[in-house]
Structure 1
């Protein structure tokens, strides 16, 4: 009787178990090479999608931790002044906005707000926009600090996105909040000074030293993701 574990009767029927000295065929060698290539390609794609972060990136650049923050703080101080002034004169701003909307109903009824919604709009937008000045500044500060403390390119990019949104809102905010005869024109000037300071702060975070220090971008590559499935 044959031994089930002997050379002639492998329990699992594997040819290598039946003949340990058997030379693999060319097809088997090719299959092993293809499997190894597939593993190497998958590992390479994974490394490309998620590159390793450096263990010690070094000290953050001065442009990110000092210059950008100093300029941003100047913009934040101006934003705080605008918000405080706006809340102290909220009733005046609301009345001025209401009158402007009513004038629009008379001069251009087709493109103006419905007359029955004017009081609601005039009462909502001024306080909402003043609160958003503070909210956007807080978001910008957290992202700017996180970019340096967490060595994060994503936080820097989100900071830039928040600044762009802020810049787009400033002309609208100036027109709705401060461009009235009984509101000092200093607020309009300060608003555009803040605009310029935010641009400068954003440019500091884009300096070459900052881009070199931050980790490489980990943008998702759909074709590689599909190949990995």
Structure 2
């Protein structure tokens, strides 16, 4: 018995170059292409590529913001030096100022409590504010050298914290009838130039030079099986 040739009975099916795809096939290809482009676009938005050469940093960042910071730092140094030189007198003045407000507090010795609080706050301000101030300088420099928008945000947030404490420090340490007004004014000079430094980093030229901010997208819900 002759075995029939399998190739003769089942010829291989080759794609017909003249065959017209069905509408369902065309729709499936379009949907796959749209899904691929959407995924690529989402990846680019979430992880934007950094430019190889961002160009020269704007002067508002490398000059104006730094000059404002340096003036604020010099003013801070002036009142810090004065504060340490007269810390004993400042402590006594602050204790006298706090005592009347503690007289109505039950089970508290107003004199001792006022003395305890007055012994804490002057050194805390005289050490904490300049230390925090010093930490912001490398942040400001790194904004330009690292080309980082996130560092700018950290820099501004840190200065905002400083701006909350400087007026309180000026009032508690230097706002007394016998204290020289120029020392009190130095704290406010620092306050004003810190604000100016923030404004310089927010100029449009700086915003255009820095990389675009990453948009936070909500997490997709897991699809059921």
Question: Normalising to structure 2: TM-score of the pair?
Answer: 0.80
**One of 107, 115, 122 as aligned partner of 1:119:** 115
Tell me the C-alpha RMSD between the 2 structures: 2.9
For the Cα contact (< 8 Å) 1:45–1:228, is it kept in 2?
no
1:140-197 deviations in Å (ceiling 9; x for gaps) = 2121111111111111222222222222212111111111233322111111111221
1:69 partnered with 2:66: yes
Among candidates 162, 175, 185, match of residue 158 of structure 2: 162
**How many residues are aligned here?**
210
Partner Cα separation in structure 1 for residue 137 and residue 197 of structure 2: 11
Q: How far apart in 2 are the matches of 1:226 and 1:89? A: 60
Distance across 2 between alignment mates of 1:118 and 1:110: 12
Q: What per-residue deviation string (whole Å, max 9, x for no partner) do you get for residues 110-162 of structure 1? A: 69x87354333222111111112212212221211111111111112222222
Provide structure 1 residue ranges, at least 5 long, that are not aligned to the other structure: 2-7, 9-17
Contact 1:42 1:228 in 2 (8 A): no
The equivalent of 2:134 in structure 1 is: 138
Which residue in 2 is equivalent to 1:94? 91
SS at match of 1:221: coil
The structure 2 residue matched to 1:54, chosen from 42, 51, 55, is: 51
Q: Is residue 75 of structure 2 the alignment partner of residue 78 of structure 1?
A: yes
Contact kept, 8 Å, 1:83 with 1:133, in 2: the verdict is no
In the alignment, is residue 226 of structure 1 matched against residue 223 of structure 2?
Answer: no
SS in 2 for 1:180: coil
Aligned to 1:183: 179
Aligned-partner Cα distance in 1 for 2:15–2:29: 18
Rg larger in structure: 2
Counterpart of 1:203? 199
TM-score (norm 1): 0.79
What is the alpha-carbon distance in structure 2 between the residues aligned to residue 228 and residue 202 of structure 1?
42
2:100 aligns with: 103
- Asked whether the equivalents of residues 143 and 151 of structure 2 are also in contact (C-alpha less than 8 Å), the reply is yes
Deviates more, 1:59-68 or 1:90-99: 90-99
